Amino acid sequence: MLFTIDVGNTSINMGLFEGERLTNSWRLMSGSDRSADEYGSLLFSLLQHNGIPISSVRGAVLCTVVPPLVPVFQEVCIKYLGTKPLVIEPGIRTGLRLAVESPKELGPDRVANVVAGTKLYGKPLIVIDFGTATTFDVVSSSGDFLGGAIAPGITIASEALFTHTAMLPRIELVCPRHAIGHGTVAAMQSGIMYGYIGLIERILKEIVDELGDQPHVVATGGYANMFTRVVPAIQVSNPDLSLIGLRLLYE
């Protein structure tokens, strides 16, 4: 079995593949102050709870947008899984031409997303990843990764209101029934949710206009399912896209 690990700024998405099938997946909170042993004990507990013997893991692949955590998770894989992980880094073969100014600056999670997206849904393609940042990644009909757009994630937008104001509370991120909020919480939910839906729809429109083609639009990340329900232009949600991409890159 193959263990896949996508380490983000605020969460860690992990999955276990048997061949092409994702048999198990887990999401943990990320923290650069945790040791390899702390992450390893969590990993061991998850596998044990699901009745998965460590010996069944034959390989591992890792990507992270937090460079200090690379050696931490390398140690986790070696010490607790008994295998040295493949680390997705600049220069790895993707099957796509990276038509961007600086391929070395491209986040490995974005690479994994478009590799999986083109394999599963075809080209042209836009992948929207709703993470700490919201990224829009674009692949042309000829298979060129063209770049995209990066916006603050919706959690950052919500936390900014709470952190930088004296009287506004922290709120649950749900789409309200009405744009006119009759209380502070409802008004904040309206502003954040409808404002963010507008951000998504406008960026998508501008990208599609520049692309000059009608792409497949795929959502992934923690809020993928929610925004797929409220943004008609998003055709499909696949929260495990990066894990599938890691498996494809490993192969």
**pLDDT for the residue 30:** 83
The pLDDT tens digits of the residues spanning 113-147 come to 999 999 999 999 999 999 999 999 999 999 999 99
Confidence grade of residue 71 (pLDDT, cut at 50, 70, 90): very high
**pLDDT for the residue 145:** 95
Q: Cα dist. 233→70, 118, 219 in Å?
A: 36, 18, 10
Q: Which of 39-48, 95-104, 162-171, 198-207 has the lowest mean pLDDT?
A: 95-104
pLDDT at 103 over 90: no
**pLDDT for the residue 95:** 85
pLDDT at 33 over 90: no
Provide the percentage of residues in the chain whose pLDDT is more than 90: 88
Confidence grade of residue 93 (pLDDT, cut at 50, 70, 90): confident
Catalytic: which of 6, 37, 109, 129?
Answer: 109
**pLDDT for the residue 51:** 94
Looking at residues 190-213, what average pLDDT do you find?
A: 97
Question: Domains in the chain and their CATH numbers?
Answer: 2-87 (3.30.420.40), 97-242 (3.30.420.40)
Phi, psi of 85, rounded to the nearest 5 degrees? -80, 150
Confidence grade of residue 190 (pLDDT, cut at 50, 70, 90): very high
Contact 51, 76 (CB under 8 A): no
109 a catalytic residue: yes
